[in-house]
Amino acid sequence: SQTIHQWPATLVQPVGSPLSLECTVEGTSNPNLYWYRQAAGRGLQLLFYSVGIGQISSEVPQNLSASRPQDRQFILSSKKLLLSDSGFYLCAWGLRVGGYTFGSGTRLTVV
């Protein structure tokens, strides 16, 4: 069966520090992968999606970047975090027509 792993669960980082969040999927090949952000009390915002290795599409220009070095690995990064980067980050995999499966999320607090 397919599973999705996301870590860390919680992260507190100072402003200006780098960020790396990792997401891996098991049990499927060539999945579509997604990064969403949920600001406190807000809805879900699509940040990046990837349909294959090295293929990244960005939805919103921002301080973040994404990479897909392997088929089932999706990484969200930042060189210098801003206070506004705080939020709940969710990785997901799936197909547009079938729905997505989400990871357990990373709660990032930038201080």
Query: What are the residues binding another protein (CB under 8 A)?
Result: 34, 36, 42-44, 46, 49, 88, 90, 92, 96-105, 107
**Tokens found for residue 53:** 């290795």
Looking at the Cβ atoms of 16 and 59, the one nearer to another protein is 59
- Residue 49 beta carbon to another protein: minimum distance, rounded to whole angstroms: 6
Mention every residue, 6+ apart, whose C-beta is less than 8 A from residue 48: 34, 35, 56, 57, 58, 59, 64, 65, 66, 76
- Residue 3 beta carbon to another protein: minimum distance, rounded to whole angstroms: 12
